[in-house]
Amino acid sequence: MAAKAAELKAAGENVLSMSLGEPDFPTPAFVKQAVKDAVDADLSHYGPVPGMPALRAAAAKYMSSFVADKGGEDVFSADDIIVSVGAKQAICNAIETLVGKGDEVILPTPCWVSYTEMVKLAEGVPVMVRTTYDNDFILTPEALEAAITPRTRLLILCTPNNPTGAVYSAEEIDALARVLLRHPNIAVIADEIYNKICYAGACASWVDQKQLLDRMVVVNGVSKAFAMTGYRIGWLACKNRDFIKACTRLQGQQITCATMVAQYAACKALDGDLTCLDEMVQAFERRRDLIVSLAKDIPGWKVRSPKGAFYLFPDVTGLFGKHAPADSRYAHRTAANPQTPATLIRNADDLCEYLLTDGLVACVSGSAFGEPTCLRISYACSEQQITEAMRRIRAAIERLK
Residue 354 pLDDT:
96
- Start-to-end CA span in the chain (Å): 24
Separation CA 99–CA 129 (nearest Å)? 18
Q: What is the band of 6 on the pLDDT scale with cuts at 50, 70, 90?
A: confident
Q: pLDDT for 226-281, tens place per residue? A: 999 999 999 999 999 999 999 999 999 999 999 999 999 999 999 988 888 899 99
Separation CA 100–CA 297 (nearest Å)? 48
- For residue 86, with 0-12 CB atoms within 10 Å meaning exposed, 13-18 middle and 19 or more buried, which class applies? buried
pLDDT at residue 339 tops 90? no
Give the three-class secondary structure for 255. Answer: coil
pLDDT at residue 337 tops 90? no
Residue 7 pLDDT:
87
- Most confident segment among 7-11, 68-72, 221-225, 337-341: 221-225
Per CATH, 2-21+276-398 and 29-272 having the same topology is answered: no
- For residue 309, with 0-12 CB atoms within 10 Å meaning exposed, 13-18 middle and 19 or more buried, which class applies? buried
Separation CA 67–CA 208 (nearest Å)? 5
Give the three-class secondary structure for 265. Answer: helix
Q: Where are the alpha helices (DSSP H) in 296-382?
A: 348-359
Residue 58 pLDDT:
97
Specify the DSSP class assigned to residue 16: E
User: For residue 93, is it left (φ>0), alpha (ψ between -120 and 50) or beta?
Assistant: alpha
Q: pLDDT for 298-324, tens place per residue? A: 999 999 999 999 999 999 999 999 999
User: Quick one: which of 187, 22, 180, 156 has its CA closest to 92?
Assistant: 156
Separation CA 1–CA 352 (nearest Å)? 8
Residue 227 pLDDT:
94
DSSP 110-178: S--HHHHHHHHHTT-EEEEEE--GGGTTPPPHHHHHHH--TTEEEEEEESS-TTT-----HHHHHHHHH
Separation CA 380–CA 378 (nearest Å)? 6
**pTM to 2 decimal places:** 0.94
pLDDT at residue 128 tops 70? yes
Give the three-class secondary structure for 190. Answer: strand
Give the three-class secondary structure for 108. Answer: strand
So where are the chain's domains?
A: 2-21+276-398, 29-272
- DSSP lists the bridge partners of residue 125 as 104
Q: Give CATH for domain 2-21+276-398.
A: 3.90.1150.10
pLDDT higher at 186 or 337? 186
Q: Give CATH for domain 29-272.
A: 3.40.640.10
- DSSP lists the bridge partners of residue 218 as 190, 237
Separation CA 287–CA 382 (nearest Å)? 8
Q: What is the band of 180 on the pLDDT scale with cuts at 50, 70, 90?
A: very high
Q: What is the band of 70 on the pLDDT scale with cuts at 50, 70, 90?
A: low
Residue 56 pLDDT:
98
